């Protein structure tokens, strides 16, 4: 196994050991950040623990995390300690720790660990994408008319997203990271997010791409800092992008 990926999986083990005991804990502490999104004591504890281990074992690597920020660097770990904090804080098991490593501006490996679902996804460039040891492959559906589309709450107010859903065979909102990983699994053909941060996108991009799909922003640029995300099985990507070009 790729050494970077092996370390990322160890970081995911550390994260799960901290986050899962706090899930549905009666003393879970939840605050509201300035951007009006929630943060829990688990979010902060997971990110701090991962940062400390990276500093010990990879002292030359930079870290960017949702809770503590960070800087750019040639080698950078990108952390979302709990993606789906709203779910986590309300006892809904759809949440995950997202861990990715970027080298020279390219994400080279990523892990999404969802212990409350009993699932973990991972990928490294050239090594494929995996879920709990099973190799992933996107679907082979070639048109929106036969596709399943997922979009987040922000899409409810966007006419282009609603048009995408109208053209699809099936539309079903899935939460946060999960929609994009369902694309990697071949269960969903299109996942759309209008508001995404770098730490939301990084791990998902490499997993979707290593499963054979495409991951871009809504302008069609292959980047993790574009503020949005469109993941598809590749076959319907241009058709989906065309809807947002209007």
Q: Which of 9-18, 85-94, 122-131, 172-181 has the lowest mean pLDDT?
A: 172-181
Q: Which of 2.40.110.20, 3.30.70.1730, 3.30.540.10, 3.10.20.30 is the CATH number of 3-135?
A: 3.30.540.10
Q: Do domains 3-135 and 144-244 have the same CATH topology?
A: no
- Tell me the C-alpha distance between 178 and 47, whole Å: 20
pLDDT at 222: 96
Q: Ramachandran region of residue 31, left (φ > 0), alpha (ψ -120 to 50) or beta?
A: beta
Tens of pLDDT, residues 19-64: 999 999 999 999 988 887 889 999 999 999 999 999 999 999 999 9
First to last CA, the chain: 44
CATH code of the region 144-244: 3.40.190.80
Query: Taking the model in full, what pTM does it have?
Result: 0.96
pLDDT at 155: 60
pLDDT at 71: 79
Q: How many helices (H) and strands (E) does the chain have?
A: 7, 15
Tens of pLDDT, residues 178-192: 999 999 999 999 999
Helix (H), strand (E) at residue 167:
helix 159-167
Query: What is the DSSP pairing of strand 129-131 with strand 134-135?
Result: antiparallel
Q: Do 170 and 182 meet the contact criterion of CB atoms below 8 Å apart?
A: no
| Higher pLDDT pick, 216 / 73 | 216
Domain spans of the chain?
3-135, 144-244
Nearest to 167 by CA among 176, 159, 157, 175: 159
């Amino acid at each position: 196994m790729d050494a970077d990926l092996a370390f990322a999986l160890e970081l995911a083990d550390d994260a799960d050991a901290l986050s899962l005991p706090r899930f549905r804990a009666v003393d879970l502490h939840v605050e509201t950040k300035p951007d009006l999104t929630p943060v829990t004591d688990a979010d902060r504890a997971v990110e701090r623990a991962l940062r400390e281990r990276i500093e010990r074992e990879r002292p030359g690597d930079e870290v960017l995390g949702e809770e503590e920020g960070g800087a750019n660097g040639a080698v950078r770990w990108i952390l979302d300690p709990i993606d789906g904090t709203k779910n986590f804080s309300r006892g809904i098991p759809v949440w995950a720790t997202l861990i990715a490593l970027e080298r020279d501006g390219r994400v080279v490996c990523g892990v999404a660990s969802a212990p409350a679902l009993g699932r973990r996804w991972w990928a490294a460039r050239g090594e494929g994408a995996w879920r709990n040891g099973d190799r992933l492959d996107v679907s082979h559906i070639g048109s929106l008319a036969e596709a399943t589309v997922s979009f987040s709450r922000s899409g409810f107010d966007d006419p282009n997203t609603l048009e995408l859903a109208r053209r699809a065979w099936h539309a079903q909102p899935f939460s946060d990271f999960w929609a994009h990983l369902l694309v990697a699994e071949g269960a969903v053909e299109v996942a759309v997010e209008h508001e995404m941060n770098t730490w939301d996108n990084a791990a998902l991009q490499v997993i979707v791409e290593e499963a054979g799909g495409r991951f871009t922003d809504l302008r069609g640029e292959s980047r993790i800092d574009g503020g949005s995300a469109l993941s598809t099985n590749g076959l319907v990507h241009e058709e989906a992008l065309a809807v947002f070009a209007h």
